[in-house]
Structure 1
Amino acid sequence: MSNQQKLTGLRPFYVMEITGHAAQIEASGRTVMHMESGEPGAPPAPRVREAVAAALDQPQKYTHSAGQIELRRALVDYYKAQHGVAVDPGSLMVTMGSSSGFILAFLAAFGRGAKIAVTRPGYPAYLNTLDGLGMEAVEIPVSAEAGWRLTASDIEAAYAREKFDGLLFASPANPTGAAVTREGLKEIVEVCARLGVRFISDEIYHGLDYRGPSVSALEFTRDAIVINSFSKYYCMTGWRIGWMVLPEDIFQRAYMLQQNLFIAAPTLSQIAGRVALGERDYSEEQKAQYAVNRHALAEGLAQFGLATASEGDGAFYAYVDFSRYTNDSLGFCLNMLDEVGVAATPGIDFDRLNGNRFVRFSYAGTRATIDEGLNRIESFLKRR
C-alpha cells in the first residue's frame, strides 16, 4: 500500500473511541484517569452559569442565523481589546462550535475536489471533514526537530510538489501544542497571498499560549477565514459554540449554508458565550493550572526516559514519542487503558503515516489526574 493510500479515506476519530471504551471501564466500577481529550476540567465561569440559569424561563427560539447581534458586538470588542483590530459585526458568524465552522469554510470558499493543505501531525477532523465533503487534503509534514512548527518555506516547498487551493493552519496546534511566532504567522499569511492560496486560521486554542499573547491572522490580513471557539479557553466544550470571521467575498455564501445546514447556533450557548467573553480572569486562572500541569507532565514523562516530551508552546497537550516502548500506538493506548486505567490518544489519530510511534496526553484536567496518571503510567511501563 502506498503512502498516499494510507493517508486518504474516512477513518475513526480514535480519541472518541478511547473515551467510549473508558466509559465502559468506569461503568464496571473502575476509575480512569482521563488524559485523552482536550476537555478542561473546570466548568464555565460562575457568571456564565448564572446567566444561562436566568435565561431558562424564557423561550429559547432560533436566533439570527449569523448569531445574536449582542454576541457579535461583544466579539467586535474582543478583537479590539485582544488584537487591536476593528472587525465589522457583519463579517462575524456564530457557529455550532468550530466543527461547523470548518464545514462552512470549506463549502463557502472551495468547490468539490479542491485541495486543502494541512499539517501532519494535525487534528484528525480536518482530514475526515474534507473527505466527507469530497475535497482532498494535502499534508505538509512538520517535525519534532523543528519544534513541530510550520514555516513559510515548508508551504512553498509543498506547493511546488503539489499545488493546493487552501491552507488550514492552527497555532497553537493540536496535538503538539506548537505555536508560531508573530513573525512566523506573518510570513505564512504572506506566502499564502503570494501563491494565491486561501488561508484558514484555526485559532481555537487562542488564549492558551504560554510564551505571550496569541496572535490572530486578522492582524495581518482581512482575506483570511478565521475560526475560533469557546470550547477550550472558556471551558465550554459541550456547549458547542464558536464563531468565524469571514472575508466579504464568501460571507453571503457561508450565511446561506448556515441557514440551511444549521439554522443557528444554540441560543443558550450564545448567551453563555457573550458572558464568557467578559470572564477572562476566570479563564486565566484555569490557564495557570494548565501551566502547572504542563510542567508536571513533562517532568514526569522525562523520568520514564521520554526525553522528547517537551512542554510545547500552547494548548494543553504533550505529543510524545513512545517508540522505545511500542510501534503500535493504538494497541498501546488500549492496553494502558485496560490494564491501569489511563486514557490517552494514539498518535495515529493525528498522523496516519508515523503516528504509530506517538501518544498524545492532555493536561487540561486536574493536577490530581496528572499525578495519579503518571503513577499508573509508570506501573504500566515497568511491565514492558
Structure 2
Amino acid sequence: MRYDKMSAFIVMDIVREAGKYPNAIHFEIGQPDLPPSPRVKAALQSAVEDNRFSYTESLGLYALREKICQYYRTTYQIDIAPERVLLTPGTSGAFLIAYALTLADGDKLGLTDPSYPCYKNFAHMMEVEPHFIAVDKSSCYQLTVAQLQAQAEKIRALQISSPANPTGNIYSAENLQALNEYCRQHEIAFISDELYHGLVYEEQAATALQFNPDAYVINGFSKYFCMPGARLGWIIVPQHKVREAEIIAQNIFICAPTLSQYGALEAFDHAYLAQIQNTFRERRDYLYNELKQLFTIEFKPQGAFYLWADVSHYTDDSYRFAKEMLAEIQVATTPGIDFGTNGTKHYLRFAYTREIAHMREGVERLKGWLKSKK
C-alpha cells in the first residue's frame, strides 16, 4: 500500500481550526445537521434493548438488503436481487470492495478532476493509479464519451459521482447511458458513486443500473438519510461478482455495524425524507441567491448540498483565502484544492448543511469582509 502518495483531507484541518472559535460559521463540513427519521431512533433503541450486538453475515442483514432493493424498484423501476447488495462500513468500505473487484496492481482508475479526494487516496492504498480527466463548466462538470475516447492510457475502471461533490452537478440520463455503453463496449468497469441521490431538487437523478446491469453502484445512509455517524453504506455488484465481493468483505471488515443496520431498517420513511429534501432545497436557493452576488457561481447546484464558488476575483490562492477568512471573520469553507488540481485553487466549496439563520450570519460577515478586499 502506497501511503506515501496519499494526500491530507484539508477540510478536516479546517474543521479542527474552526472548532477553536465558538462563534464560527460552518460552510466547510459535508454532513447534514438534521436528524434521521424518528423511526430510525426507535429502531436503534429497540435493537439495544434486544441486545443486537453480534455480527451479521458479511453481506449484511437480509431484511435491509431487501428494503434497499425495494427502494430501487420504487425509485428507478429496476429489479435487483438482494444477494447483489452488500452493506459496508460507510461508503469507504464500498469503494475498497469496488476497486478490489475491478482493478489489479498498477491498473488505471479514471476519475474526474475535480472530484472527492478519498477516491485517489483509496486508489493509492490499493496500488492503483488514479488517472484524472479534467471537467469544467463547459460540460457542467460531466465527463463525456469524447473525453474517454481521447485517453491514450488504458483505463480499467471509470468512476463518476452524480450528484457530484464538490460541484453539485448531476449527470444527465443521456450522458450516463452513453458513458455506460462505451465502457461496456471497451470492457471498462463502471463505478457510480450515487451517495447524494435523493438530495436532488429539480429532476430525478438516473442510476447507472438503468443502463448497465453490471455497473458497481455505491450509496449509503449518511447524506439523504441523515445518518453520517452510523457509518453504513452499500454497494451493488454484478451477479457474478457476489461471492468474490463477500470474501473481500469478510476479510476487510467482517460486517457493517450491526446496530446501524437495525436502525436503517426504518430509514426509508418517505414522508420524512421528502421534508429533508425540501429543507435542503430551501437552503440551496437561499445560499445560491446570496453567493452569486459575491462570487462567480457557474450554475445552480442540481443536487447534493454544495456550491462551487469561483473566488478568482479576489484571490489566486483559495486555500490562503479560506484561512484568512476563518482567522479574520470566523467563516469556515473548504478550499478547492482538496478536490484536485484542475483550476481548483480558484474555488471554494460552500456546504449548505446548516439552517438558514446560521448561513445568513455567515453571508453578512462575508459581505463586510469582501468590501475590504476590493
**TM-score class, shorter:** over 0.9
| Matching residue's letter, 1:50 | A
Looking at structure 2, the residues matched to 188 and 63 of structure 1 have their Cα atoms a distance apart, in angstroms, of 36
1:208 correspondence with 2:199:
yes
For residue 95 of structure 2, what is the aligned residue in structure 1? 102
Figure out how many residues of one structure are paired with residues of the other and give that number: 369
1:344 correspondence with 2:350:
no
For residue 32 of structure 2, what is the aligned residue in structure 1? 40
For residue 7 of structure 2, what is the aligned residue in structure 1? 11
Looking at structure 1, the residues matched to 45 and 372 of structure 2 have their Cα atoms a distance apart, in angstroms, of 49
Looking at structure 1, the residues matched to 92 and 271 of structure 2 have their Cα atoms a distance apart, in angstroms, of 26
Cα distance per residue 1:252-289 (max 9 Å; x no partner): 22211111111111111101212102x12212212112
Match among 228, 232, 238 for residue 229 of structure 2: 238
- Shifted more, 192-201 versus 143-152: the winner is 143-152
After superposition, the CA RMSD in angstroms is 1.4
Cα distance per residue 1:35-67 (max 9 Å; x no partner): 112111201111111111122122211111100
For residue 186 of structure 2, what is the aligned residue in structure 1? 195
Looking at structure 2, the residues matched to 338 and 311 of structure 1 have their Cα atoms a distance apart, in angstroms, of 29
How much does 1:104 deviate?
A: 1.1
* Stretches of structure 1 lacking an aligned partner (at least 5 in a row): 1-7
Cα distance per residue 1:57-84 (max 9 Å; x no partner): 2221111110001101111111111111
> What's the TM-score once normalised by structure 1's chain length?
0.93
Q: How does 1:109-124 map to 2 (within 5 A)?
A: 109-124=102-117
> Quick check: 1:301–1:309 contact (8 Å CA) kept in 2?
no
1:52 correspondence with 2:50:
no
**1:145 aligned counterpart, secondary structure:** helix
**1:324 aligned counterpart, secondary structure:** coil
For residue 66 of structure 1, what is the aligned residue in structure 2? 59
**1:18 aligned counterpart, secondary structure:** helix
**2:147 aligned counterpart, secondary structure:** helix
Match among 241, 257, 272 for residue 266 of structure 1: 257
Match among 13, 16, 20 for residue 20 of structure 1: 16
Cα distance per residue 1:151-209 (max 9 Å; x no partner): 22222223xx2221000111111100111111111111111112211000111011112
1:321 correspondence with 2:317:
no
Cα distance per residue 1:65-122 (max 9 Å; x no partner): 1000110111111111111111111111001111110011101221111100011110
For residue 375 of structure 1, what is the aligned residue in structure 2? 364
How much does 1:214 deviate?
A: 2.1
Structure 1 ranges of 4+ moved more than 6 A: none
For residue 254 of structure 1, what is the aligned residue in structure 2? 245
How much does 1:364 deviate?
A: 2.1
Looking at structure 2, the residues matched to 151 and 364 of structure 1 have their Cα atoms a distance apart, in angstroms, of 30
> Quick check: 1:298–1:309 contact (8 Å CA) kept in 2?
no
Cα distance per residue 1:238-257 (max 9 Å; x no partner): 11101111012322222111
For residue 282 of structure 2, what is the aligned residue in structure 1? 292
| Matching residue's letter, 1:291 | R
> Quick check: 1:200–1:226 contact (8 Å CA) kept in 2?
yes
How much does 1:353 deviate?
A: 4.1
**1:56 aligned counterpart, secondary structure:** helix
**1:168 aligned counterpart, secondary structure:** strand
**1:208 aligned counterpart, secondary structure:** coil
- Shifted more, 52-61 versus 314-323: the winner is 52-61
Cα distance per residue 1:222-251 (max 9 Å; x no partner): 111111111111111111101111012322
Match among 169, 177, 185 for residue 178 of structure 1: 169
> Quick check: 1:39–1:365 contact (8 Å CA) kept in 2?
no
> Quick check: 1:328–1:356 contact (8 Å CA) kept in 2?
yes
Looking at structure 2, the residues matched to 13 and 206 of structure 1 have their Cα atoms a distance apart, in angstroms, of 23
Looking at structure 1, the residues matched to 209 and 313 of structure 2 have their Cα atoms a distance apart, in angstroms, of 42
How much does 1:351 deviate?
A: 1.7
> Quick check: 1:298–1:310 contact (8 Å CA) kept in 2?
no
- Percent identical: 37
Cα distance per residue 1:308-351 (max 9 Å; x no partner): 25322111111111111111111111111111111110000012
**1:297 aligned counterpart, secondary structure:** helix
> What's the TM-score once normalised by structure 2's chain length?
0.95
Looking at structure 1, the residues matched to 359 and 274 of structure 2 have their Cα atoms a distance apart, in angstroms, of 19
